[in-house]
């Protein structure tokens, strides 16, 4: 087998080009020397590409390139064609096809896929964070959170936490129960990122009665009594007053409606 090299050229970091090259190599039954692939990232100017060509003018090469900028990509195409160099344009054909079908002009911004990757991993991290610190499981999460939600039971704390987690925000929700002291960490963080989820007693009474019914429990359970509900709401008002945080009323509201109000308050 004749020896050859694969040269990756990119106006970003070249990770996509190398991934495709390695995927192609994996389909062949021969030993792959790690030195077979050379990557040239951040090729922004014609002179940068000319340097790459000079470096490999005596080599048996395949040039694999992911050039986003159309002017530079056209130059790369022409140089490779004129010199009879085997080459693979990864981004050009797919961008042209998508533009043709959609009639939408591309951004022409190198490295955008990595921005998308960062957003994805940020969202996954936020979702895992919300699960880990859901329902006041670990007060230490309050010190790391972007948003803190407070409320009595059945005020949509968990659904709202997940809603914001899917937008990449690290959220902790804390249940407020009269018999349990509010975590001290609540008073150590910026109150501007704390939102109290207020609810009127009547809708909360109905929600809890329905919940008790779903669980097969008696209506007489303390959880669903009007007196208990009023006690919890008084405690909520007490804690929110001490914190000086903002509140929204979630009574009879969909998750999206409550979330929009929170976003306005937090200016996010």
Tell whether residue 66 is among the known ligand binding residues: no
First to last CA, the chain: 59
> Cα 155 from chain centroid?
25
Buried b or exposed e, range 107-116, using 16+ CB within 10 angstroms? eeebeeeeee
Q: Domain boundary at 80, 110, 140, which? A: 110
Q: CA 32, CA 48: separation in Å to the nearest integer?
A: 28
* CA nearest to 240, candidates 191, 202, 179: 191
pLDDT digits (tens, 9 = 90+) for 202-248: 999 999 998 888 888 876 688 889 999 999 999 999 999 999 999 99
Tell whether residue 88 is among the known ligand binding residues: no
* CA nearest to 233, candidates 154, 173, 159: 154
Give the Å distances, CA to CA, from 237 to 2, 22, 150.
Answer: 78, 61, 11
Tell whether residue 152 is among the known ligand binding residues: yes
What is the DSSP secondary structure assignment for residue 11, as one 8-state letter?
A: S
Q: CA 182, CA 160: separation in Å to the nearest integer?
A: 20
Q: CA 176, CA 237: separation in Å to the nearest integer?
A: 10
If asked whether residues 38 and 98 sit together in one domain, one would say yes
Tell whether residue 12 is among the known ligand binding residues: no
If asked whether residues 186 and 174 sit together in one domain, one would say yes
Q: Domain boundary at 73, 94, 110, which? A: 110
Q: Domain boundary at 80, 95, 110, which? A: 110
Tell whether residue 96 is among the known ligand binding residues: no
If asked whether residues 149 and 248 sit together in one domain, one would say yes
If asked whether residues 143 and 92 sit together in one domain, one would say no
If asked whether residues 79 and 211 sit together in one domain, one would say no
What is the number of domains present in the chain?
A: 2
pLDDT digits (tens, 9 = 90+) for 114-152: 766 778 888 889 999 999 999 999 999 999 999 999 999
If asked whether residues 123 and 94 sit together in one domain, one would say no
Instruction: Compute the average pLDDT of residues 164-170.
Output: 95
Question: pLDDT at position 69, please?
Answer: 94
If asked whether residues 106 and 162 sit together in one domain, one would say no
If asked whether residues 86 and 120 sit together in one domain, one would say no
Phi/psi of residue 111, nearest 5 degrees = 85, 5
Do β-strands 61-66 and 246-249 pair in parallel, antiparallel, or remain unpaired? unpaired
If asked whether residues 132 and 222 sit together in one domain, one would say yes
Tell whether residue 100 is among the known ligand binding residues: no
Q: Which residues lie across from 197 on neighbouring strands?
A: 248
Query: Does 254 have pLDDT greater than 70?
Result: yes
Rg (CA), the chain: 29
The CATH number linked to 38 is: 3.40.50
If asked whether residues 15 and 97 sit together in one domain, one would say yes
- Record the pTM: 0.62
If asked whether residues 143 and 250 sit together in one domain, one would say yes
If asked whether residues 123 and 198 sit together in one domain, one would say yes
What is the residue range of 60's domain?
Answer: 5-110
């Amino acid at each position: 087998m004749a020896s050859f090299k694969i040269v990756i050229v990119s106006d970003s970091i070249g990770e996509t080009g190398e991934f495709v090259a390695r995927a192609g190599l994996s389909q062949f039954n021969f030993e792959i020397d790690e030195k077979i692939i050379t990557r040239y990232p951040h090729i922004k100017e014609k002179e940068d590409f000319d340097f790459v060509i000079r470096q490999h003018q005596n080599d048996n090469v395949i040039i694999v390139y992911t050039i986003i900028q159309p002017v530079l990509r056209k130059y790369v195409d022409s140089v490779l064609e004129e010199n009879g160099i085997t080459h693979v344009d990864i981004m050009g054909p797919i961008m042209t096809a998508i533009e043709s079908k959609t009639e939408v002009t591309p951004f022409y911004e190198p490295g955008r896929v990595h921005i998308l990757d960062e957003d994805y991993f940020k969202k996954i991290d936020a979702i895992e964070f919300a699960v880990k610190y859901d329902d006041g499981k670990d007060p230490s999460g309050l010190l790391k959170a972007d948003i803190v939600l407070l409320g009595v039971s059945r005020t949509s704390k968990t659904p709202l936490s997940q809603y914001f987690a899917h937008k990449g925000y690290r959220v902790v929700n804390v249940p407020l129960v009269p018999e349990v002291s509010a975590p001290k960490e609540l008073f150590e963080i910026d109150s501007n990122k704390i939102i109290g989820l207020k609810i009127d007693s009547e809708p909360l009474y109905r929600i809890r009665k329905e919940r008790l019914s779903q669980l097969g429990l008696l209506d007489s359970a303390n959880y669903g009594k009007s007196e208990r509900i009023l006690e919890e709401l008084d405690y909520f008002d007490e804690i929110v007053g001490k914190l000086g945080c903002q509140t929204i009323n979630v009574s009879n509201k969909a998750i999206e409606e409550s979330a929009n109000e929170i976003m306005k308050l937090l200016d996010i």
